Amino acid sequence: MASSRKARLYGGMDAEERRTERRLKLIDAAIEVYGEVGYRGATVKAICEAAELTERYFYESFANSEALLIAAYGHVVGHLHEEMTAAAAAAGDDAEMRLRAALTLYFTRLKQHPKPARVFLLEISGISPAVDAVKLDALRVFSDILVPPALDPKRSDRGAATSLLSVGMVGAVISIARRWVSKQYPQAVEEVVAIAASFCRVALTEADHREDGHLS
């Protein structure tokens, strides 16, 4: 048994762990290559060279380039959402402070990492319905980070109109981010956060009015 186990290990990792490591290497390489040449300019060969892996290992993890793009987008956005959630939680229970903390983290990271920001904000639109569906899911998560339903009981069971307002709120924030990134960060983070927060307050106020009107 011991010799059999040893045969399955390489560098202290078994076969599944090595596959996971290779997959992460390809995702990291894709993010780097996308940042240099854009998604449409990136080739499987270039990404594999950056990851120091053969194309055989690419197709071990991904069906095609679009599948890798979706994985890379999920990787970047997932980490960003985790950081935003932590920043909001650290700000306490005050809704305004949580909103500003999450937005500050968001815009700070966009400025700190301009290459991924350009790819995943500016270049990812219109690639395919599958990519658009992933982006839509990310919008919903973004909305719940900015205004968690658990902290706002009136929005814990959102109606259709309120849900649209919530999506519109996040859409406004992302539109501001796109403009800011495309113009190479002309305003300070604090100024952009203030502008984005003002749009959020308008949407949330309208949502409250609609909920109050529905309840009365």
**Three-state secondary structure string covering 103-139:** HHHHHHHHHHCHHHHHHHHHHCCCCCHHHHHHHHHHH
CA–chain centroid gap for 121, Å, is 9
Query: What is the model's pLDDT at position 12?
Result: 64
Mapping DSSP to helix (H, G, I), strand (E, B) and coil, where does residue 30 land?
helix
Give the rounded distance of the alpha carbon of 90 from its chain centre: 20
The H or E element that residue 21 is part of is: helix 15-37
44-51 helix and 15-37 helix, angle to the nearest 10 degrees = 120
- In angstroms, the Cα distances linking 5 to 8, 9, 91, 98, 131 are 5, 7, 48, 49, 40
* Mean pLDDT, the chain cut into blocks of 10 residues (216 residues total): 50 81 97 93 97 96 96 95 96 91 97 92 90 91 81 52 71 94 96 94 64 50
The pLDDT, as a whole number, for residue 3 is 47
Single-letter amino acid, residue 75: H
- Phi, psi for residue 40 in degrees, rounded to 5: -70, -20
Its pTM stands at 0.82
